[in-house]
Amino acid sequence: MKLSQFLSHPNRVSLKDFDTRKRHKYNVTSSREQRTYGGVVFDSLAERDKYIELINDPLTIWIDCHVAVSLPGGLRFKIDFIVWRRTFCKIHDRNDACCPAPEAIEVKGVATSDFKIKRKLFNEFHPLKPLSVIRRQGKRWVEV
């Protein structure tokens, strides 16, 4: 979210939620080229790296990137990834794509008040709940 959008946002609580220092750390230092992989431009290097990790997972069947979903009150929420994975199939006795399990994943450096509201609404109403929110900590991913 751009600062101008944030300032005019109806759900804005206070300026402290917009931490330019942290956003700089996660978003601005990398170039568009660095954040691009497989033709997709990601918001951060962490998001790009998560994508690479997901496509290399043998259980992954499909990844939808930057998916806009609807939330109550006419809100729109763009989720980083919806990953479709193989699950164990009793008919074929193996992991396969007969009944794929979707997971909504959001890579977040900073949780803005805007995001917190959307996450709460998503987890309450959307059938793809719960939203998995992760952040990179060194070489690991941690739940936010």
Site of interaction with Zn ion (CB under 5 A): 89, 91-92, 96, 98
Q: Indicate the residue among 3 and 98 with the shorter CB distance to Zn ion.
A: 98
Reported as half-sphere exposure (CB side, CA atoms, 13 A), residue 106 has a value of: 24
Closer to Zn ion by CB, 20 or 95: give it. 95
Of 86 and 119, which CB lies nearer to Zn ion in the complex structure? 86
Taking residue 62's Cβ as centre, other Cβ atoms within 10 Å add up to 12
Contacts of 116 (CB under 8 A, 6+ apart): none
Is 125:69 a contact under the CB 8 Å cutoff? no
Minimum distance, C-beta of residue 128 to Zn ion, in the bound complex (Å): 22
The minimum distance between CB 59 and Zn ion, in angstroms, equals: 14
Report in angstroms how near the CB of residue 99 gets to Zn ion at its nearest. Answer: 7
